Amino acid sequence: MGLASILHASEAPMNEEDVMPDDLLKAGEFAHLCGTTKETLRHYKDIGLLMPVAKAENGYQLYSPLQISDYLLISSLQQAGCNLQEIKGYLSEPDSEALENVMEDRISAIVEQRRTLLMQKSLLENTLARMRARNDWRHDPAEFKLETCETEYFLDSNISDAFVSIAEANLPTLIDEQLALPTEKATAVLQDESAHASDRKPKRTVYSAQDGVQVDEQAERVVRHILDVWRLGQKQGDVSELQGNYRVGREAFLQGEPWKDFHLCARVRPHKRRKGLVEKPAGAYFKYLRTMNFAEIKDDLEPAMELFGVYEKMRRVLEREGFTPTSDIFERELSLYTGNTDEIIYSELSVRIDR
């Protein structure tokens, strides 16, 4: 029974010869199925919005199961901002342009709400997965792990140009020396090289939007890339992760120069397989943990050492274990940003391998 006929339905008593009792619902049963109350149904009846199709001889108001969709339409129009008198007017002329416009607006709002909810759901799921991965590493501090991973897709921005000054600092030699020395000696070598690097070329700075605050140009360019990728992902409804993802090209990794092909990534939902996305292929992956404590970084070169030195460590472990990398190297940060600079930051590096 449609809305127009329901609005003018008769309340004449109905006996069992007219309709089988199981065909109709008492007000309480109907309210339960609709997720509402008998009081709401009574109010709708009083204003002529949603009328019972019949009244039993014992006085019960009876509704048809077909009216459930009518109730849900009324509820949706209410959520769209319509008052009950407006809804009654719309439904008395179900072919009106006004009702069509209201429903189109409501559909658009629902689509946007769904997009937002999906992003929130995915963000929470991804953050929970990262937290669990971090805790797994902390509770089982193995040198590396082997796991099977599914295909993932990323928005991608090449930020290699932000690290062009790395080559001037002779970083490959520094990394080799640091990996070959005990920790205390490696720190001394690093500090000595940093002093020479500062003599060779002054540190370039730019001013941020906040007056008087100087920001290293390299950091400024990286932040700009991060914001560009994040805004693009938000606009397209794709990005659902707050923590960072990075990618290093396979050839640059094998050559020991990861900064030459270094990318910022933002993971997108699996169904978003648009042209231009970077694919992390499914397969067997070698995983390696990075830990960084920014509170202990005391000079200009040490961040670069921390950032790129781990790739060389990982490459050497792969070589030692006899694994052949068959993909780019993907890194995902596992730590949440709490503003505590003393907190150790965890990241997980992974590469697909042939075993």
CB-based burial label for 150 (10 Å; 0-12, 13-18, 19+): exposed
322: left (phi over 0), alpha (psi -120 to 50) or beta: left
pLDDT at 35: 93
pLDDT at 315: 94
pLDDT at 80: 78
pLDDT at 328: 97
Taking only the tens of pLDDT, the chain with its 355 residues reads: 444 343 444 444 444 444 445 689 999 999 999 999 999 999 999 999 999 999 888 888 999 999 999 999 899 888 878 889 888 888 888 777 888 888 888 888 888 888 888 878 888 888 898 889 999 998 888 889 999 999 998 888 888 877 766 655 565 666 666 566 444 443 443 344 444 444 433 333 333 333 333 345 555 655 665 666 656 655 655 555 656 789 999 999 999 889 889 998 888 766 555 677 889 999 999 999 988 776 655 545 455 666 788 899 999 999 999 999 999 999 998 887 666 666 788 899 999 998 7
φ and ψ of 263, to 5 deg = -130, 145
CB-based burial label for 90 (10 Å; 0-12, 13-18, 19+): buried
| Buried b or exposed e, range 16-34, using 16+ CB within 10 angstroms | eeeeeeeebbbbeebbeeb
Q: Which domains does the chain have, with CATH numbers?
A: 3-95 (1.10.1660.10), 123-354 (3.20.80.10)
**Model confidence pTM above 0.85:** no
pLDDT at 4: 37
The CA-atom distances, in angstroms, between 147 and each of 109, 151, 152, 287, 290 are: 41, 13, 15, 7, 17
pLDDT at 33: 93
Coil/strand/helix, residue 30: helix
165-203 residue pLDDT tens? 665 556 566 666 656 644 444 344 334 444 444 443 333
φ and ψ of 110, to 5 deg = -65, -40
